[in-house]
């Protein structure tokens, strides 16, 4: 009354309520919709609905297959130490879809350490290939140290190739050099992906490019050090 208070807020009024459509009205509307369609149109819509369901089923199957394959690939990715009792299960009984590289080594042998480092780099790039290591005398009794390191390549329970001594890799005692030697006759290395990666020529070309880049990088480093 005296004008020293702000005006009051207007009273709250809810929005008008609109009742849901009557079920009978909805049924009659659907009936009208169906009556307006011919038998051919109704059959076509049913076929499209069935096609959508089949498409979703096929898509789900494909995704599950990809997930299973990625899980299988994820099993590898490191050079696994095995013993003589593990050899049959880890190597001989593996199917033809997996290539296995077995390193025979002994502790304290410098050339074995060089090859081991190369395999540790390769196993990260090619987790679809299984890499294992075993002490040479655990695998072959009285195996001479002058044959170390030795690489055995297995597939479907059989020895496909063997590389005795680091000299088999000549001056290419790098991960790329070892990879090129392994891929001479078969597609041993597998990154775990389908498609062109399974072609041996593609893998070899990629390895050569990587090797050339590494040589050029090392030469640049040597030139900089020489200038300093």
| Tokens read off for 185 | 């006759």
Q: What is the pLDDT of residues 133-152, one digit of tens each?
A: 999 999 998 999 999 999 99
Stated as kind and residue range, the H or E segment containing 155 is strand 150-155
Instruction: Tokens 């992906």: give the residue.
Output: 193
Q: What is the pLDDT of residues 33-71, one digit of tens each?
A: 556 666 666 666 665 566 556 666 676 677 666 665 555
Instruction: Tokens 């640049």: give the residue.
Output: 220
Question: Which is it for the CA torsion 185, 189, 192, 198, positive or negative?
Answer: negative
| Tokens read off for 109 | 């042998």
pTM listed for this prediction: 0.58
Give pLDDT, residue 217.
Answer: 66
Q: Is residue 197 a contact partner of residue 169, using CB atoms and an 8 Å limit?
A: no
Helical ranges in the chain per DSSP H: 23-35, 39-74, 87, 110-125, 136-139, 175-182, 200-227
């Amino acid at each position: 009354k005296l004008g020293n208070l702000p005006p009051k807020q207007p009273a709250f009024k809810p929005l008008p309520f609109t009742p849901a459509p009557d079920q009978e009205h909805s049924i009659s509307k659907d009936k009208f919709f169906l009556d307006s369609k011919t038998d051919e149109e109704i059959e076509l819509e049913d076929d499209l609905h069935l096609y959508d369901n089949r498409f979703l089923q096929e898509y789900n199957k494909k995704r599950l297959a990809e997930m299973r394959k990625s899980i299988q690939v994820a099993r590898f990715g490191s050079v696994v130490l095995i013993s003589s009792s593990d050899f049959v299960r880890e190597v001989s009984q593996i199917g033809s879809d997996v290539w296995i590289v077995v390193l025979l080594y002994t502790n304290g042998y410098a050339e074995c350490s060089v090859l081991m480092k190369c395999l540790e780099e390769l196993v990260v790039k090619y987790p679809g290939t299984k890499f294992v290591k075993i002490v040479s005398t655990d695998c072959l009794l009285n195996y001479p140290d002058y044959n170390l390191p030795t690489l055995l390549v297995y597939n479907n329970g059989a020895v496909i190739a063997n590389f005795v001594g680091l000299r088999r890799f000549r001056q290419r005692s790098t991960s790329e050099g070892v990879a090129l030697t392994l891929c001479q006759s078969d597609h041993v290395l597998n990154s775990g992906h389908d498609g062109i990666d399974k072609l041996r020529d593609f893998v070899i070309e990629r390895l050569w490019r990587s090797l050339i880049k590494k040589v050029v990088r090392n030469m640049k480093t040597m030139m900089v050090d020489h200038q300093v």
